Chain A
């Protein structure tokens, strides 16, 4: 089958959109997954401590 411009455009316009939506749903699930809350809370506070040495 020959891949011409119109084929690619059609592919992009349909699957590109699905890809975008699917990706967005995954991100939403990740961001709002209940058990991730603790991890995010820890991450945002841990940069504030004044410890200036690598951990062993």
Chain B
């Protein structure tokens, strides 16, 4: 019986292809099926907020520049990591991250909780030329970010796609994306008040790159770095030794 069956598979190459699919994909699908529902295992964090348009734009710069090649955003459940970087990362903290940037290599330190640890001024100086701030650093200089104005035009489209994918952006947020991005980096304008209204009072509204007249890619990236690990406080409540997130340095 088995013999007959095998001969038959072998006779036709299509049968053979089906056998490979059976082994790899049917087997694989039985195996990986739970992963499609794995979001069901993600913990609740009612205080979790979405990225503002400026932070999302900053995240997209982080993605564009391939920062994941040297920086992780995933603090493992190991004592030395928790002591070095802060409470270990929870799944919920990256639930709005597309793609996730957990990374696989730390040529530089983990960034999952970098938000609020350094001042904006430090970040800008560091990105302009890392060796001005950390002489031993081997990170590339990103001075061009400060020279490049941020593209605000398509931010509504970005938010709209995220909304389609299930990120809880309201229609109002989508509509005002460009204005909010501008407002977050240019304080003391009418646009700025809209940001706090829509994304919460705790949202950091300031001239991240130190220049309050225009919005650059530097503004966006620093805004993103400053919110990393600060979208929810869930991680601080979940650890064995509860603590509060540090007061942000401005």
Contacts and interface: CB of A to CB of B under 8 A. Distances in A.
Interface stretch (B37-45, B123-131, B137-145, B220-228): B37-45
B30 interface: yes
B40 A33 contact: no
Given A23-B23, A35-B3, A15 B38 contact: no
B2 A30 contact: yes
B242 interface: no
A54 to B, nearest CB: 16
Interface in B4-41: 6, 22-23, 26-27, 30-31, 33-34, 36-38, 40-41
Q: Is chain B's interface secondary structure helix, strand, loop, or mixed overall? A: helix
B3 A11 contact: no
A51 interface: no
Nearest to A14: B30
Contacts of B3: 33, 35-36
Given A4-B37, A4-B40, A12 B6 contact: no
Contacts of A20: 27
Interface string A3-44: 111001101100110011001001001100101100000000
B33 A11 contact: yes
B2 A33 contact: yes
Given A30-B6, A35-B3, A8 B37 contact: yes
Size band of the interface chain A makes with B? 10 to 19
Contacts of A3: 37
A20 B23 CA distance: 8
B6 A33 contact: yes
Contact of B30 (A5, A11, A33): A11
A9 B30 CA distance: 9
A27 B2 CA distance: 10
A46 to B, nearest CB: 15
Interface in B232-246: none
B23 A5 contact: no
Nearest to A20: B27
A35 B41 CA distance: 51
Contacts of A23: 22-23, 27
A9 B33 CA distance: 8
B80 to A, nearest CB: 31
Contacts of B23: 23
B34 A5 contact: yes
Given A29-B2, A30-B6, A35-B3, A12 B30 contact: yes
A53 B33 CA distance: 47
Contacts of A16: 27, 30-31
Interface of A: 3-5, 8-9, 11-12, 15-16, 19-20, 23, 26, 29-30, 33, 35-36
12 contacts: A8-B33, A8-B36, A8-B37, A15-B30, A16-B30, A19-B27, A20-B27, A23-B22, A26-B2, A30-B2, A36-B3, A36-B6
